[in-house]
Amino acid sequence: VLFTDTGTLIAVRQKPELVNQPASLIYEDFDKIQPQLGSSFTRLSPDGKYLQIFSPIDVGGGGADHWVMGLIIPFEKITAPATTAALREAAIGAGLIVLALIFLWLLAGQIVRPLQVLTNAATAVSQGDWTVKANVHSRDEAEVLANAFNTMTSQLQTAFSTLEQRVAAR
């Protein structure tokens, strides 16, 4: 928008019908901004939807008339790249969180599965089934524990069968 400091529109982009009309058609609160038109300044529109930039232009040989160049930029156009970047980053973050949760679920399964096998075997032994074996192949402490458990149940089975033979012999 190009207008005089007294409030007459000189040119409005894509609206030639507004030439020689009052600036208050574009700037509803022109009376509030008029005292500041002697210098460049920036402000938000009263509704907060637009960034308004004003810059005086001297058009005479030192005369009193000054024109003012006014830019009106929709705030959403200014923030659009930041909004797009924020949405992209949020989507990437959500994707990484989902991948991390899947990884943790698989990792937890690797830790819990051998313990479940050992628990089931211990339960079976406590119910009198001395033939059960804990089959754990995890290449870590859980496998060592399973092998010790299997050795213990095997030794207990041998001890009980020997004890039964001794009782039967007496």
What pLDDT digit, counting tens, does each position of 29-85 carry? 999 999 998 889 999 988 889 999 999 987 765 556 689 999 999 988 888 999 999
Identify any residues that bridge with 44 across adjacent strands, giving them in sequence order.
51
Tallying the residues shown for the chain, one arrives at 170
d(CA 5, CA 56): 8
pLDDT band per the 50, 70, 90 thresholds, residue 22: very high
Angstrom distances, CA of residue 147 to CA of 46, 58, 116, 126, 153 = 77, 93, 15, 17, 10
Instruction: Quote the mean pLDDT of the chain.
Output: 88
pTM above 0.85, yes or no: no
pLDDT band per the 50, 70, 90 thresholds, residue 12: very high
